[in-house]
Chain A
Amino acid sequence: MILLILCGIAFAGGGIMLSNVLARSTKNKVKGEAYECGVPTIGKSWIQFNVGYYLFALLFLIFDVELVFLYPWAVVAKQSGWIAFVEILIFLFILFLGFLYAHKKGALKWM
């Protein structure tokens, strides 16, 4: 894994270095401006952003943690038989209730 990280750094770094060496570079003021299709930029873009994305991120967090819990269950599910099935039924039922609650509250509606 460390080997691959090193490979990645070497590859990306090597590419950028090579490009820096080979490419012609000139500086002027207009070049550094943000590209917004030629129209002069108004204000910064580091502003408060739509809260909708935040809600989806929260929901994602819940479901992703649940997914992580499911992995060890999935490995042993076939051996433990019906106990595993009943357990997952209860687990997913509770989860689904939460999902319905979020749906009812309108967390899944855009804007």
Chain B
Amino acid sequence: MPSLEEISKSVHDLLTTALPPVMALLTGFLIAGLLVIGLFTVLGLVLVFMERKVSAYMQIRVGPNRVGFKGTAQTLADTLKLVLKEGLTPSGSDKFLFNLAPFLVLITSMLLMAPIPFARNFQMWDLNIGVLYITAISSISVIGILMAGWSSNNKYSLLGAMRSGAQIVSYELSAGMAILTVVVLSGSLKISDIILSQQNGWWIFKGHIPVIISFVIFIIAVTAETNRAPFDMAEAESELTAGFHTEYSGMKFALFFLAEYVNIFIVCAIGAVLFLGGWMPFHIGSWGAFNRVMDYIPSSVWFMSKTFFLIFVIMWFRWTFPRLRIDQLLNLEWKYLLPISLFNLLLVTLVAIMGWYF
């Protein structure tokens, strides 16, 4: 079976030999763009379906099982329905900002697709400040959410957006600290370098307890950042109807929804890259035969299985923990997670300098 790396290389060779350089570049861009849009749609469909199925089995239900084979076409049907619905704009709203907000949220999550390594050497843009790029771009989506909430001229929306803004910016700090610990250990901001530094063991195994602490902090922080339960204050539906997208309907709502699910994928992918070794296969010390078998599994399968495992964990949280109140939520971040992650950073620095990792 040809790997993704070989396919992309052969396509690149074909383009450069068959076409003049400018045309080859443009065609390459076109293919990459189509791939990203395709991936975006497929991810949205798969993740929504997965969420509904996981929720169903956690509650001993069957979940969607009528449309298509065992309900697999359910999300497709839902999307079709959303496309056919009328997109309302409330008469009291700020029309320009109201229509701009879904674009902003969607473009943000699309930009985050760039530095994600889907397989060995299969990455759209391996820039040398990859980790910084991710933290910088991911904070733009707050603006989109605040914009959506404020421009709707609706009290539910405003409250939801304010809460969501406070929550996202707070938890970004802890997530950033957790990311920094891995940067300290691997000594590079480039995503491919970080993955290569885990060749002889993933950081969560190599880095002792401090890295495990920062992994736990990272998972908590990204659950809050993507507005997932138990931190879904922004759209606590029993209280705020739907939070910042109360007034959105039809396709605009679908875009928010899609961006939310793709964001979950992206943060889980980053978690997999930083702590679980990205596309690196699982190796155990000197077990030659075992390592050979693990090497035989394609790198894209490794990456996807790690990412989807983390997504499953985050979906699991939703049915395990009750929702927090806004003051409890901010307390948890500012009084516990932030001091812990500051102290943890010191510990990791000590580990890195003394060379106590394997």
Contacts and interface: CB of A to CB of B under 8 A. Distances in A.
B90 A12 contact: no
B106 A71 contact: no
A103 to B, nearest CB: 8
Interface stretch (B52-60, B227-235, B265-273, B348-356): B348-356
B331 to A, nearest CB: 7
A63 B174 CA distance: 10
Contacts of A1: 111, 114, 125
B92 interface: yes
A24 B249 CA distance: 13
A78 B352 contact: yes
Contacts of A24: 86
Contacts, number: 195
A8 B109 CA distance: 9
User: Looking at chain B's contact residues, is the secondary structure mostly helix, strand, loop, or mixed?
Assistant: helix
B88 interface: yes
Given A8-B111, A24-B86, A67 B180 contact: yes
Nearest to A34: B154
Contacts of A57: 165-166, 169
A85 B169 CA distance: 27
Contacts of A75: 183, 187-189
Contacts of B114: 1, 4
Interface string B108-130: 00110110000000001100000
A97 interface: no
A19 B330 contact: no
Interface in B100-156: 102-103, 106-107, 110-111, 113-114, 124-125, 131-132, 135, 150, 152-156
Contact of A78 (B86, B102, B110, B184): B184
B33 interface: yes
A98 to B, nearest CB: 12
A21 B247 CA distance: 20
Contacts of A41: 92, 154
A88 B342 CA distance: 10
A74 B346 contact: no
A15, A26, A41, A70: which has the most chain B beta carbons within 10 Å? A15
B241 A37 contact: yes
B33 A7 contact: yes
B324 interface: no
A31 B22 CA distance: 51
A30 to B, nearest CB: 10
Interface in A11-51: 11-13, 15-16, 18-20, 22-26, 31-37, 41, 44-46, 49-50
A23 B33 CA distance: 27
B182 to A, nearest CB: 9
B76 interface: no
Contacts of B166: 53, 56-57
14 contacts: A4-B107, A9-B107, A11-B40, A15-B83, A15-B254, A26-B86, A34-B90, A57-B169, A60-B173, A75-B187, A78-B352, A85-B350, A110-B331, A111-B327
Given A4-B114, A19-B83, A92-B346, 8 more contacts: A1-B114, A35-B246, A41-B154, A64-B169, A79-B187, A81-B353, A99-B339, A103-B335
Identify the 4 closest CB pairs spanning chains A and B, nearest first. A32-B91, A8-B107, A110-B327, A19-B251
Interface of A: 1, 3-13, 15-16, 18-20, 22-26, 31-37, 41, 44-46, 49-50, 53, 56-57, 59-60, 63-64, 67, 70-71, 74-79, 81-82, 84-85, 88-89, 92, 95-96, 99, 103, 108, 110-111
